[in-house]
Amino acid sequence: AGPGSKVVVGGRRATLCVSSQIGCQMGCTFCATGTMGLKGNLSEGEVVEQLVHASAVARVRNIVFMGMGEPLTNYEAVVGAVRCMTHPQLWGLARRHVTLSTVGVIPRIKSLGTDLPGISLALSLHAPTQELRATIVPS
């Protein structure tokens, strides 16, 4: 379905797990993508293209930005792609069916509520204390 994307079908619904980057600069110790470093950002079109390919094999109803990359470090492309995916005259997905997962890029989290109201945010904390979290998510 695209670079690092995956379609999960459950009954009559399909969820597309979307990538926003090739690789990732966050360096999370538990993530294979983090070990390869950031190779590049996907464009808005490349993010949407994952939905185009997935729609050829399933009726995609949900989008989760949980594939390769930290979506909030490729902010403009991700916001543009979500706007396209949720535009009533384009893909028409409901914003409540879009979830963006992040390790916590704080300034962008604040912007997200203004730029994409209605989407869901999944914040991965990874540890009960900041000290331990800093060893798991070094950036």
Read off the pLDDT of residues 90-126 as tens digits, 9 standing for 90 and up: 999 999 999 999 987 888 988 999 999 999 999 877 6
Inside any domain, residue 112: yes
Instruction: List pLDDT tens digits, range 35-87.
Output: 788 899 999 999 999 999 998 888 899 999 998 999 999 999 999 999 999 99
Inside any domain, residue 1: no
Inside any domain, residue 126: yes
User: Given a cut of 80, is residue 137 above it in pLDDT?
Assistant: no
- The closest alpha carbon to 99, from 25, 43, 18, belongs to 18
User: Given a cut of 60, is residue 1 above it in pLDDT?
Assistant: no
Give residues with Cβ within 8 angstroms of 86, minimum separation 6.
92, 93, 94, 95, 98
Instruction: List pLDDT tens digits, range 18-33.
Output: 999 988 887 777 777 7
pLDDT at 4: 67
Inside any domain, residue 43: yes
Which range marks the domain in which residue 122 is found? 6-136
pTM of the predicted protein model = 0.86
Inside any domain, residue 101: yes
Query: What is the C-alpha separation between 7 and 108, in angstroms, rounded?
Result: 27
| Total count of domains within the chain | 1
CATH classification at residue 18: 3.20.20.70
pLDDT at 138: 64
Inside any domain, residue 77: yes
- Owner of token pair 């966050």: 26
